């Protein structure tokens, strides 16, 4: 846009001309742009970036000793409008003069402050010197619109006078002495460490030789055992075979013993038992035969009658073949009829025995004493 100007971030835009509303001779614009009417207003830019000034000054101390002092000052134009206006009025046309003027201001304050201090104080309290120079120049720098960020004293020397060296001599001597003592201690420690290292190396060599000797002994032992391993292994194997054969023979003997028991002893015992049983049976048989011989006639007669019993029962049953028999109670009735037939046969058998003088039984069976319903009663129903 025509007439619109914008300052850089590290610049302040100063607009002059026309009617100014404030008390300042120009309007200050920072951080944004502004419209500038051509031919009526004029624009200039003041840098706000960091500046540097070097000071190299010969200063006399409170003791009258001349010292060469070198320092560096870091400063800039203040950010507020008042500082910008003050700096603009003084340095806008030649802004490089800010470093020259700042150096001269600090040089004057540096001489003043060093003149009130001794060399020892300056050497030992350098930071205190810088702080006092800053405090003494702060107000004066603010009047011209400048602010100091840092002051660094780089070097202090007395030329070829040697005062500072003389001051440092006792300290140097003490330091040298301490350095020598420290070096001696270090050498002693190094010698002790070397001796300890040699001792450890000797001990290591000794232990290594012992270990090697033990190792060789172990190797020889292993080799000797390996040389004897063949015969020893063979003997051990033979012992194992003999033990196995012995155990096998014992097992075979046990099996043979069991086989003999099963094939010879047990059959012999069984045969002996069979012979004993047969002998007992024969004796019992002979006893029975003897008793039978005593009652041969009675037994023969009973045998004859018993042989005729089936025929007797058959004849009795034959009489029922043409009879009209009514069975009232089914299978039970038929059973009762058969029982009656058998009872009649037995009655006939007993009669025959009585007729020929045989002894009677002490007690008749129920069927003999009382014929059942299917007995004589059934036979009578013809």
**Mean pLDDT of all residues belonging to the chain:** 78
Over residues 140-145, mean pLDDT = 90
How confident is residue 321, by pLDDT bands cut at 50, 70 and 90? Answer: low
Residue 297 has pLDDT above 70, yes or no: no
The rounded distance, in Å, linking the Cα atoms of 373 and 328 is 11
How confident is residue 371, by pLDDT bands cut at 50, 70 and 90? Answer: very low
The answer to whether residues 185 and 164 touch, using CB atoms and an 8 Å cutoff, is no
DSSP three-state, residue 326: coil
pLDDT of residue 286: 81
Beta-bridged to residue 77, according to DSSP, are: 146
Residue 72 has pLDDT above 90, yes or no: yes
pTM of the model: 0.43
The answer to whether residues 121 and 97 touch, using CB atoms and an 8 Å cutoff, is no
- What the chain holds in terms of domains, given with CATH numbers, is 4-46 (no CATH), 52-161 (3.30.479.30), 296-380 (no CATH)
pLDDT of residue 73: 92
The answer to whether residues 350 and 358 touch, using CB atoms and an 8 Å cutoff, is no
Look-up: residue for tokens 């300290």? 171
């Amino acid at each position: 846009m025509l007439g619109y100007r914008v300052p850089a971030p590290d610049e302040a835009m100063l607009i002059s001309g026309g009617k100014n509303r404030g008390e300042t001779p120009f309007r200050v614009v920072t951080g944004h742009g502004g419209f500038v009417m051509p031919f009526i207003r004029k624009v200039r830019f003041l840098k706000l970036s960091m500046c540097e000034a070097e000071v190299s000054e010969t200063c006399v101390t409170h003791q009258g000793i001349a010292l060469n002092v070198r320092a560096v000052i870091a400063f800039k134009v203040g950010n507020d409008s008042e500082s910008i206006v003050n700096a603009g009025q003084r340095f806008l046309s030649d802004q490089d003069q800010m470093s020259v003027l700042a150096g001269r201001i600090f040089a004057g304050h540096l001489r003043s402050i060093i003149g009130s201090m001794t060399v020892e104080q300056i050497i030992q309290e350098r930071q205190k010197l810088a702080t006092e120079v800053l405090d003494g120049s702060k107000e004066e720098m603010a009047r011209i619109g400048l602010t100091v960020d840092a002051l660094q004293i780089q070097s202090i020397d007395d030329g070829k006078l040697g005062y500072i060296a003389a001051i440092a001599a006792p300290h140097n001597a003490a330091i040298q002495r301490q350095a020598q003592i420290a070096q001696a201690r270090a050498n002693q420690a190094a010698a002790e460490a070397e001796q300890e290292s040699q001792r450890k190396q000797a001990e290591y060599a000794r232990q290594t030789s012992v270990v090697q000797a033990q190792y060789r002994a172990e190797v020889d032992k292993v080799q000797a055992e390996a040389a004897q391993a063949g015969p020893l292994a063979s003997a051990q194997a033979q012992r194992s075979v003999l033990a196995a054969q012995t155990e096998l023979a014992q097992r075979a003997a046990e099996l043979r013993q069991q086989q003999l028991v099963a094939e010879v002893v047990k059959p012999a015992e069984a045969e002996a038992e069979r012979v004993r049983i047969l002998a007992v049976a024969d004796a019992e048989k002979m006893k029975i035969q003897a008793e039978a011989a005593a009652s041969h006639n009675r037994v023969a007669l009973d045998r004859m009658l018993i042989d005729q019993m089936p025929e007797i029962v058959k004849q009795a049953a034959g009489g029922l073949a043409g009879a009209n028999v009514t069975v009232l109670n089914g299978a039970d009735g038929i059973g009762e009829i058969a029982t009656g037939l058998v009872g009649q046969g037995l009655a006939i058998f007993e009669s025959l025995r009585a007729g020929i003088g045989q002894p009677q039984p002490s007690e008749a069976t129920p069927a003999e004493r009382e014929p059942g319903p299917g007995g004589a009663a059934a036979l009578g129903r013809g």
